[in-house]
């Protein structure tokens, strides 16, 4: 960082300032830059020696700075005492601030200026690596607040009612009070001590506009609120208990995307979870070792575009379709590493005329995959591979897939009917013989890429 930045008194744009110890590099240089506007990141705040020194930046007077980031780079062990609390207290910004990020702050609490009266225009807040903080600041009354990320707050065990910023005397007294009235996206990530997220007992309307919620790497979390009126996207990852997911979904009717990864205790979805969210478009379940089945209400999801079940070693069954309910909007189906599955139900992928991508991979005990290629004219990517016990293969020739661009198939069981297997390639033998080595064994592996299917198909048929 150049020395004596404070002498550039007309400077308006300064993206970052690295604090130093020697004169001319200290944080007081910012105090003279009264015309700064836009974005500013202040690094190496561990070199600021007191609250008073931090105040010499005069950030509270810089009304044209709308985005601030404060960053510490601590080398000492986490058990060492710091003056981070005093420094952050001295860095109070102007009330016009819209975006704030605090990184690697080692105070145990946040300063009193983290509240509605002093940050009335705040829209975005990211707190990351604040490993000693035990409580989250009271933010629920910020009227314009839309985006909150809480990352690596390792000491937080409970998100308490104080988080919502309402007086304890008003808890449960009025349903007219709203908390986080404008919040649209909330992220809780790597909060390894978090056990409880309170909310329902507060008795007020909360998160009326929240659309996206992601909870990641919070392995001890057991409880969450259930009041999310218009939540559209829910991602929950690396949470041992199934209860947070079930609580979150207990009253939801608006989900469009649900992604579940590494929820160790999850065994199934309640039927009403899918019944109540008929607008669901993307359903992904990955690395849930105890997950066994999907409910019958799967076929009520007439808007479902993407279905993925990956690395669920005990997953054993899809429901059998009944009546006129089918996955008519499905565009992508992925099934990987599901060793508990022996067959797909007949008719599951019927009427999937919008299906573009189909992958069934490394399902070691899959025996039967009833499918007719004529039912899926939109298919452009097909991968049925590494299923060593597969005997019943799809019917109909690949020539029926007029939009096919990529194909990976086999190896299958040596018990498969060779004539049925060979019939799959009816109409494109010429193409296969020029693209891969054709072996007269049904357990072979073929990988074909059709660079221009329309030209090659004319000669293949």
Instruction: List pLDDT tens digits, range 354-369.
Output: 999 999 999 999 998 8
For residue 38, count other CB atoms closer than 10 A to its CB.
12
Q: Give the number of residues written for the chain.
A: 461
Give the confidence band of 429 by pLDDT, cuts at 50, 70, 90. very low
| Domain assignment present for 252 | no
DSSP β-bridge partners for residue 153: none
β-pairing, 65-71 vs 38-43, is parallel
- Predicted confidence (pLDDT) at residue 179 exceeds the cutoff of 60: yes
**Mean pLDDT for the stretch of residues 218-237:** 96
| Domain assignment present for 3 | no
| Domain assignment present for 359 | no
| Domain assignment present for 385 | yes
Query: What pLDDT, on a 0 to 100 scale, did the predictor assign at position 91?
Result: 98
Four-CA torsion 293, 294, 296, 302, nearest 10 degrees: -160
β-pairing, 158-159 vs 212-216, is unpaired
Lowest mean pLDDT among 66-75, 242-251, 371-380: 371-380
CB 283 within 8 A of CB 307: yes
Higher pLDDT, 129 or 374: 129
- Predicted confidence (pLDDT) at residue 451 exceeds the cutoff of 80: no
**Mean pLDDT for the stretch of residues 94-116:** 96
Query: What pLDDT, on a 0 to 100 scale, did the predictor assign at position 427?
Result: 59
Query: What pLDDT, on a 0 to 100 scale, did the predictor assign at position 297?
Result: 95
| % of the chain at pLDDT higher than 70 | 88
DSSP assignment string, 263-288: -TT--B--HHHHHT-TT--EEEEES-
Tally of domains within the chain: 1
| Domain assignment present for 404 | yes
Residue-range definition of the domain harbouring residue 441: 370-461
262's tokens: 């590494």
CB 165 within 8 A of CB 138: yes
User: Rounded to the nearest 5 degrees, what angle is found at the Cα of 42, between the Cα atoms of 37 and 47?
Assistant: 145
CB 334 within 8 A of CB 359: yes
**Mean pLDDT for the stretch of residues 383-399:** 83
- Predicted confidence (pLDDT) at residue 449 exceeds the cutoff of 80: no
296's tokens: 């019958």
Non-local (6+) Cβ contacts of 215 within 8 A are 188, 189, 221, 224, 235, 236, 237, 239, 244
Give the confidence band of 77 by pLDDT, cuts at 50, 70, 90. low
CB 152 within 8 A of CB 129: yes
β-pairing, 446-449 vs 406-409, is antiparallel
- Predicted confidence (pLDDT) at residue 151 exceeds the cutoff of 90: yes
Q: Rounded to whole angstroms, how far apart are CA atoms 204 and 405?
A: 54
| Domain assignment present for 149 | no
Which segments within 142-279 are labelled E, that is strand?
Answer: 147-151, 158-159, 178-179, 185-189, 196-197, 205-206, 212-216, 233-237, 257-261
CB 325 within 8 A of CB 351: no
**Mean pLDDT for the stretch of residues 428-447:** 43
Give the confidence band of 393 by pLDDT, cuts at 50, 70, 90. confident
CB 87 within 8 A of CB 105: no
Query: What pLDDT, on a 0 to 100 scale, did the predictor assign at position 426?
Result: 67
Lowest mean pLDDT among 106-110, 258-262, 429-433: 429-433
| Domain assignment present for 447 | yes
For residue 298, count other CB atoms closer than 10 A to its CB.
22
Query: Cα separations (Å) of 294 from 172, 284, 336, 430?
Result: 37, 11, 15, 41
Q: Rounded to whole angstroms, how far apart are CA atoms 429 and 140?
A: 65
Lowest mean pLDDT among 16-20, 318-322, 378-382, 446-450: 446-450
Query: What pLDDT, on a 0 to 100 scale, did the predictor assign at position 461?
Result: 34
Query: What pLDDT, on a 0 to 100 scale, did the predictor assign at position 434?
Result: 32
Burial of 75 (0-12, 13-18, 19+ CB in 10 A): exposed
Report the predicted TM-score, pTM, of the whole model to 2 decimal places: 0.90
For residue 330, count other CB atoms closer than 10 A to its CB.
26
Query: What pLDDT, on a 0 to 100 scale, did the predictor assign at position 346?
Result: 85
Query: What pLDDT, on a 0 to 100 scale, did the predictor assign at position 431?
Result: 39
Query: What pLDDT, on a 0 to 100 scale, did the predictor assign at position 350?
Result: 82
| Domain assignment present for 87 | no
CB 62 within 8 A of CB 38: no
Give the confidence band of 456 by pLDDT, cuts at 50, 70, 90. very low
Mean of the per-residue pLDDT values of the chain: 88
- Predicted confidence (pLDDT) at residue 435 exceeds the cutoff of 80: no
Which segments within 229-331 are labelled E, that is strand?
Answer: 233-237, 257-261, 282-286, 306-310
For residue 17, count other CB atoms closer than 10 A to its CB.
20
Query: What pLDDT, on a 0 to 100 scale, did the predictor assign at position 369?
Result: 84
Query: What pLDDT, on a 0 to 100 scale, did the predictor assign at position 167?
Result: 66
**Mean pLDDT for the stretch of residues 288-300:** 96
């Amino acid at each position: 960082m150049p020395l004596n930045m404070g002498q550039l008194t007309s400077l308006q744009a300064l993206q970052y300032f690295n604090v130093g110890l020697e004169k001319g590099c200290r944080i007081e240089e910012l105090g003279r830059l009264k015309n700064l506007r836009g974005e500013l990141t202040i690094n190496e705040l561990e070199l600021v020696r007191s609250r008073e020194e931090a105040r010499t930046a005069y950030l509270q007077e810089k009304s044209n700075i709308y985005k601030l980031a404060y960053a510490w780079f601590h080398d000492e062990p986490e058990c060492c005492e710091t003056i981070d609390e005093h420094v952050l207290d001295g860095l109070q910004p102007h009330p016009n601030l819209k975006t704030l990020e605090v990184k690697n702050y080692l105070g145990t609490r946040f300063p009193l200026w983290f509240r509605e009266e002093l940050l009335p225009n705040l829209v975005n807040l990211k707190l990351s690596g604040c490993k000693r903080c035990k409580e989250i600041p009271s933010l629920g009354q910020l009227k314009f607040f839309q985006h909150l990320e809480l990352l690596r707050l390792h000491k937080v065990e409970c998100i308490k009612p104080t988080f919502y910023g309402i007086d304890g005397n008003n808890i449960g007294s009025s349903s007219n009070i709203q908390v986080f009235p404008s919040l649209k996206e909330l992220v809780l990530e790597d909060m390894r001590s978090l056990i409880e997220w309170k909310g329902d007992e507060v008795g007020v309307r909360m998160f009326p506009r929240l659309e996206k919620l992601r909870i990641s790497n919070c392995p001890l979390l057991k409880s969450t609120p259930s009041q999310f009126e218009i939540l559209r996207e829910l991602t929950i990852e690396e949470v041992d208990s199934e209860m947070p997911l079930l609580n979150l979904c207990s009253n939801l009717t608006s989900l469009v995307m649900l992604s579940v990864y590494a929820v160790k205790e999850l065994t199934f979805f309640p039927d009403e979870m899918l019944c109540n969210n008929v607008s669901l478009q993307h359903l992904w379940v990955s690395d849930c070792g105890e997950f066994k089945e999907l409910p019958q209400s799967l076929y009520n999801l007439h808007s479902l575009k993407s279905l993925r079940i990956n690395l669920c070693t005990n997953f054993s069954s899809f429901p059998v379709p009944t009546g006129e309910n089918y996955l008519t909007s499905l565009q992508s189906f992925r099934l990987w590493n599901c060793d508990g599955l022996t067959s797909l139900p007949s008719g599951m992928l019927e009427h999937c005329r919008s299906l573009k991508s189909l992958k069934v991979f490394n399902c070691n005990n899959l025996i039967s995959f009833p499918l007719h290629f004529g039912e899926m004219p939109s298919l452009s990517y097909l991968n049925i591979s590494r299923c060593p016990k597969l005997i019943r293969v799809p019917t109909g020739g690949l020539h029926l897939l007029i939009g096919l661009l990529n194909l990976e198939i086999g190896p299958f069981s040596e018990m498969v009917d060779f004539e049925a297997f060979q019939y799959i390639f009816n109409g494109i033998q010429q193409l296969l013989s020029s693209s891969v080595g054709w072996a007269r064994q049904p357990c072979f592996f073929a990988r074909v890429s059709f660079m221009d299917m329309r030209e090659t198909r004319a000669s293949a048929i």
